Amino acid sequence: MADIRLPHGWTLQQIRDVSGDQEAAALDPDRPVKWVSVGEAHEMPRPEIVLGFHSLCLVKPVDDDDWYMGSLYDDGSIDCWAAYGDLHEALRGL
């Protein structure tokens, strides 16, 4: 199992406060992630950080400063469909 990480400078409580989801959690990043757009799906780089919000999640890939919003499925896989320039903006977009 990979290390479960939080974004630098953020606590889990801060993430919960900004998102409005008091059950938000840091998830194991060792999972398949795809970028999905208009009928096409492409594998994304390995996630560094994954934050879960019930059936939604935010993903920060390794070597990428953007955050990607997506659907979290029961099998642990993620399909991303929106990108944000920073975590605060992504949390407010949930």
Does residue 72 form part of some domain? yes
Q: Are 82 and 93 in contact (CB under 8 A)?
A: yes
B/e letters for 56-93, b = 16+ CB within 10 Å, e = fewer, are bbbbbbeeeeebbbbebeeeeebbbeeebeebeebbee
CATH code of the domain covering residue 54: 2.30.30
Instruction: Quote the number of domains for the chain.
Output: 1
In-domain check, residue 85: yes
In a domain, 5, yes or no: no
pLDDT value of residue 39: 79
Tell whether 25 is covered by a domain: yes
Determine, yes or no, domain membership for 23: yes
Residue 74 forms part of a structural domain:
yes
* Domain region containing 24: 12-92
Per-residue pLDDT of the chain (94 residues; tens, 9 = 90+): 456 899 999 999 999 999 999 999 999 999 999 999 887 999 998 899 999 999 999 999 998 999 999 999 999 999 999 999 999 999 999 9
2 belongs to a structural domain = no
User: Residue 37: its pLDDT value, please?
Assistant: 87
- pTM: predicted TM-score of the whole model, two decimal places: 0.93
Question: Do the domain assignments include residue 88?
Answer: yes
